[in-house]
């Protein structure tokens, strides 16, 4: 019986740039926590280990994971033979990712969830707000990743495409949130979903976070359908937005059908909205993300 032994060729140049990439990634992660500290204007160490602020920890963790997704995408897109460009691309897109995550948080606070101060709620330890904030941040990073892998090269046009993808991401999050708010108000005597989140309804936060993440994967399907044209950035933006909204609605509809079939006999409104059933909300989240991944796989 013949056996094959995997052999790795030693390349000092590759090892040097690989080490540089790891160093850049670590520096970016440290910078991300520093930027988050500036945003909250508090001692992050005291919040995490002194006050044991779980909401703060969830929010920081989502920022680090979102940045990791962006850096991962930059490294994956770069040519394996061009180590210097790959390191430069990781650095530029990493810094850009930190800026976009910060802008995304501002948009989420001022436009999407505009009935309360998200920063104050997180500092007060509101876990439900921390979960929704984290889901939004990671969902934005997932969409940006799909745009980064969709573009070609390391040019001004690819940067414009990424900014367009960021705009699409925020638009989709806004539409999704407003649809969920309308559904919640209809099922709960015109009560406000945002007000309930402020009251600390974790099950609702898990349910809504699942919608945001599911929609992010569904929107990523646009990168499998559309052809990238570097100079046609206006049509790229319009096409991405159209496909994103189309797959958002499709995901919501199919997820609704899946929930009615899989959770047959369970009153979802009563269990999640009124009885705060985290278990049922988690199943809803899994089904929403699962449907979105199925759609993404079908168009890949």
Residue pLDDT, tens place only, 68-121: 898 888 777 765 566 677 778 778 888 888 888 888 888 888 899 888 888 889
Judged against a pLDDT cut of 90, whether residue 47 lies above it is answered with no
pLDDT > 60? residue 60: yes
C-alpha distances in Å from residue 90, one per residue of 26, 78, 82, 83, 87: 11, 9, 12, 11, 5
Res 292: pLDDT: 93
1 has a pLDDT exceeding 50: no
Mean pLDDT, residues 134-153 taken together: 86
Q: Is residue 8 part of a domain?
A: no
The separation between CA 236 and the C-alpha centre of its own chain, rounded to angstroms, equals 21
The CB-based long-range contact list for 24-31 (8 Å cut-off, 24+ gap) reads 24/71, 24/87, 24/90, 24/91, 24/94, 25/68, 25/71, 25/90, 25/94, 28/67, 28/71, 28/90, 28/91, 28/94, 28/95, 28/97, 28/98, 29/64, 29/67, 29/68, 31/95, 31/98
Q: Confirm whether 5 is domain-assigned.
A: no
- Provide the pLDDT for residue 81: 60
Residue 196, in any domain of the structure: yes
Helix, strand and coil percent figures for the chain, each rounded to 5: 80, 0, 20
**In-domain check, residue 4:** no
The answer to whether residue 6 sits within a structural domain is no
More confident residue, 275 or 81: 275
% of the chain with per-residue pLDDT over 90 = 37
Any domain includes 7:
no
Minimal CA–CA distance to 227: which of 292, 151, 295? 151
Q: Residue 198: give the domain boundaries.
A: 13-299
Question: Does residue 4 carry a pLDDT above 80?
Answer: no
More confident of the two residues 36 and 9: 36
pLDDT at 202: 95
For the ranges 40-49, 95-104, 200-209, the one whose mean pLDDT is highest: 200-209
For residue 156, the model assigns a pLDDT of 81
**What's the pLDDT at 17?**
72
The pLDDT of 7-27, averaged and rounded, is: 72
Number of domains in the chain: 1
**So what's the pLDDT on residue 14?**
67
Residue 115 lies in a domain: yes
Q: Which residue has the higher pLDDT, 278 or 153?
A: 278
Residue 147 domain-assigned (yes or no): yes
Look at residue 283 and tell me whether its pLDDT is greater than 70: yes
| Residue 206 CB neighbours (<10 A) | 23
Reported as a single tens digit per residue, the pLDDT across 171-197 is 888 999 999 999 999 999 899 999 999
Confidence (pLDDT) at 18 = 74
pTM above 0.75, yes or no: yes
pLDDT tens for each residue of 229-255: 878 878 888 888 888 889 989 999 999
């Amino acid at each position: 019986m013949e056996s094959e032994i995997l052999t790795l060729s030693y390349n000092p140049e590759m090892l040097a740039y690989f080490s540089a990439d790891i160093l850049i990634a670590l520096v970016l992660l440290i910078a991300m926590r520093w930027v988050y500290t500036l945003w909250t204007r508090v001692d992050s160490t005291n919040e995490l280990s002194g006050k044991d602020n779980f909401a703060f920890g969830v929010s920081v963790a989502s920022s680090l994971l979102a940045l990791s997704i962006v850096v991962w995408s930059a490294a994956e897109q770069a040519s394996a033979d061009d180590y210097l460009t790959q390191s430069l691309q990781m650095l530029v897109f990493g810094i850009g990712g930190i800026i976009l995550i910060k802008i995304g948080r501002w948009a989420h606070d001022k436009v999407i969830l505009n009935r309360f101060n998200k920063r104050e709620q997180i500092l007060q330890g509101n876990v439900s707000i921390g979960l929704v904030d984290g889901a939004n941040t990671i969902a934005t990073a997932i969409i940006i990743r799909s745009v980064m892998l969709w573009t070609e090269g390391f040019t001004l046009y690819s940067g414009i495409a990424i900014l367009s993808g960021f705009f699409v991401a925020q638009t989709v999050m806004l539409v999704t949130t407003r649809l969920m708010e309308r559904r919640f108000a209809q099922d709960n005597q015109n009560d406000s979903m945002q007000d309930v989140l402020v009251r600390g309804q974790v099950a609702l936060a898990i349910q809504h976070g699942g919608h945001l993440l599911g929609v992010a994967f569904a929107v990523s399907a646009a990168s499998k359908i559309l052809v990238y044209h570097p100079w046609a950035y206006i049509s790229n933006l319009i096409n991405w937005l159209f496909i994103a909204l189309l797959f958002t609605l499709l995901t919501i509809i199919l997820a609704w059908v899946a929930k009615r079939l899989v959770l047959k006999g369970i009153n979802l409104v009563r269990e999640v909205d009124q009885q705060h059933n985290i278990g049922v909300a988690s199943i809803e989240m899994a089904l929403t993300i699962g449907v979105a991944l199925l759609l993404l796989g079908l168009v890949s």
